[in-house]
Amino acid sequence: MQKKVVHRDIKSASILLDDDWKAKISNFQPSSLDLLHQDMEHVSGNAYTAFGYLDPQQKQGFLTTSSDIYSIGVVLFEILCGRLAWAEDCKDHTESLGPLAKRVYEEGKLDETVFEGIKEQLGPESLSVYAGVAYQCLHDESEERPTARELVIQLKKALDVQVSFFVLTKYMAIFQCIYIIRQH
Write the burial class of residue 27 (CB in 10 Å: 0-12 exposed, 13-18 middle, 19+ buried). middle
Domain hosting 169: range is 3-183
pLDDT value at residue 45: 45
pLDDT value at residue 40: 43
Identify whether the C-beta of residue 70 lies closer than 8 Å to the C-beta of residue 44: no
User: Could you read off the pLDDT of 133-161 as tens digits, one per residue?
Assistant: 999 999 988 899 999 999 999 999 999 99
pLDDT value at residue 24: 82
Tally of domains in the chain: 1
Q: Catalytic residue numbers?
A: 9
pLDDT value at residue 94: 64
> Which of 166, 162, 165 shows the shortest CA–CA distance to 79?
162
Any idea what the CATH number is for the domain that residue 93 is in?
Answer: 1.10.510.10
Give Cα separations from 168 to 116, 164, 165 (angstroms): 21, 6, 5
Buried b (16+ CB within 10 A) or exposed e, 72-81: bbbbbbbebb
With a pLDDT cut of 70, the percent of the chain lying above it is 74
E strand or H helix at 181, and its extent?
helix 148-183
Low-confidence ranges of the chain (pLDDT < 50): 33-48
Compute the distance between CA of residue 69 and CA of residue 53 in angstroms, rounded to an integer. Answer: 10
Q: Give the three-state DSSP class for 140.
A: coil
The angle at the Cα of 135, spanning 43 to 11, to the nearest 5 degrees, equals: 50
pLDDT value at residue 31: 53
E strand or H helix at 43, and its extent?
strand 43-44
pTM of the model: 0.78
